[in-house]
Amino acid sequence: MSASLNATADHASAERVADRVPAEAVCAEPLSVLGRDVTVPLVTGGEVAYAALDYAASAPALQRVWDDVAAYAPYYGSVHRGAGYLSQLSTDLFEQSRVTVAEFLDCRPSDQVIFTRSTTDSLNLLAAVLPAGCQVFVFETEHHASLLPWGDARVTYLDAPRTPDEAVATLELALAAREPYGPALVCVTGASNVTGELWPVRELAAAAHAHGARIVLDAAQLAPHHPVSLRELDVDWVAFSGHKLYAPFGSGVLAGRADWLQEAEPYLAGGGASRKVARREDGGVDVEWHTTAARHEAGSPNVIGVYSIASACRALTEAGFEGLVARERQLIAKVREGLAGVPEVRVLSLFGDDAPRVGVISFVVDGWNSSHFAAALSAEYGISVRDGLFCAHPLVRTLLGGEPQAQGECGAPEAAPGERSLNAIRVSFGAGTPDEHVDRFVRAVRELVADGAKWRYRTEEGRCVPVS
């Protein structure tokens, strides 16, 4: 990673992350992504360019990534141990992708980069290799991928903090009260998938290490928006997904310290993870497992998915995070100012209006069920957003404070009849978002709140859909 990117990679605190990019930084142009020319029909007639504002779920693939994959596809071959030219070429490409990802994450020389299926798979892998007796500390604000994998460990769930300083203090108190001996792990997000707010990762890492614990960073929402440096953040592991980093296909990454990974049994048993297998006289088998990243990459790997991640890492690095962050700041300000001008809209936040954040904003609208509002944005304006609890149920329920939403004309409540329905709307965007998409979204919110939906909707199999 270059010196300039290292400068912007200093996430020493949530405040310093945002301040790393000067206000006068030159904004980048939107990066070219697939689907930018797709048009969709409107229920009111005609067609409109599709506005993909659901980046936090899956970002559209960069055109550069798709072109790289298409150029490689004719040379596709099985990796490792193949004697053929295409197999050798694919093996070199696969292992070079590992180097590219390590550079993108500013890994330490001793760190391992393991390719997985997703952030969820990465964190489940780490959970599977925890030493016996490991204590895990995780905030209730985490995405389910970070909240749920630790079933066999002793887990302490921490209450949602209301400031970055409170997050650090809460963790320090919990770690100080833990048993003084034995392994411990802290799991924390870099940027919330609900509020977009940046977390004080470096301070949390310092607190963890001061109390003899390790820390893993869920960077699924952070890595597409800001540079992530294992060295600068001083985290032990980082996990992220390709499909949120503008790469197609199902691949993810777990990168960081090798010792727990090398000492544990393979995450999956099979070819590729095994170095030597021999029958014993008693009829069983003896297995010698790899001690490299291959130990946890059993089976034939997703070569194209891995290459697409590496391509996305190169594309973002070459585009320059400074300009990308500066432009995203402008989009965030435009959305937040637009929503602030609608009294019926309440934006959800843990750390307050001034907290630095990425392009992820969740909100509720008085008088509307969130499913109804999202359906109207799609059917009448061609805008894709997300509604629900965003695989972060405890956090959204905390932010909504148990307040019921009005059902409006149509709703998809999770609650049973007579119980409260809690859900929200999430708009998210990034390096490929045109200004027009954000402008259309703000205009659509104002019109829907002021004038109501132009079409009739009904609930069908738990979703709000336009009446045909």
Give residue-wise pLDDT tens across range 236-259.
999 999 999 999 888 999 999 999
Closest CA to 1 of 258, 245, 323, 320: 320
Write down the catalytic residue from 313, 391, 410, 464: 391
Q: Mean pLDDT across the stretch 416-426?
A: 65
For residue 113, pLDDT beyond 80: yes
Q: What is the rounded distance in angstroms from the CA atom of residue 388 to the CA atom of residue 379?
A: 18
CA angle 36/39/40 to nearest 5° reads 130
Give residue-wise pLDDT tens across range 165-216.
999 999 999 999 998 789 999 999 999 999 999 999 999 999 999 999 999 9
Give residue-wise pLDDT tens across range 3-44.
322 332 333 333 433 444 554 556 678 999 999 999 999 999
pLDDT value at residue 454: 95
Per-residue three-class SS string for the chain: CCHHHHHHCCCCCHHHHHHCCCCCCCCCCCCCECCCCCEEECCCCCEEECEECECCCCCCCEHHHHHHHHHHHHHCCCCCCCCCHHHHHHHHHHHHHHHHHHHHCCCCCCCEEEEECCHHHHHHHHHHCCCCCCEEEEECCCCHHHHCCCCCCEEEEECCCCCHHHHHHHHHHHHHCCCCCCCEEEEEECECCCCCEECCHHHHHHHHHHCCCEEEEECCCCCCCCCCCHHHHCCCEEEEEHHHCCCCCCCEEEEECCHHHHHCCCCCCCCCCEEEEEECCCCCEEEEECCCHHHHCCCCCCHHHHHHHHHHHHHHHHHCHHHHHHHHHHHHHHHHHHHHCCCCEEECCCCCCCCCECCEEEEEECCCCHHHHHHHHHHHHCEECEEECCCCHHHHHHHHCCCCCCCCCCCCCCCCCCCCCCCEEEEECCCCCCHHHHHHHHHHHHHHHHHCCCCCEEEECCEEEECC
pLDDT value at residue 298: 82
Question: pTM to 2 decimals?
Answer: 0.90
Give residue-wise pLDDT tens across range 340-393.
999 999 999 999 999 999 999 999 999 999 999 999 999 999 999 999 999 999
Give residue-wise pLDDT tens across range 31-85.
999 999 999 999 999 999 999 999 999 999 999 999 999 999 999 998 887 889 9
Give residue-wise pLDDT tens across range 208-240.
999 999 999 999 999 999 999 999 999 999 999
Tell me which amino acid residue 175 is: L
> Across all residues in the chain, what is the average pLDDT?
90
The radius of gyration of the chain's CA atoms, rounded to the nearest angstrom, is: 23
pLDDT value at residue 459: 87
pLDDT value at residue 421: 60
Task: Assess whether 134 carries a catalytic annotation.
Answer: no
pLDDT value at residue 180: 77
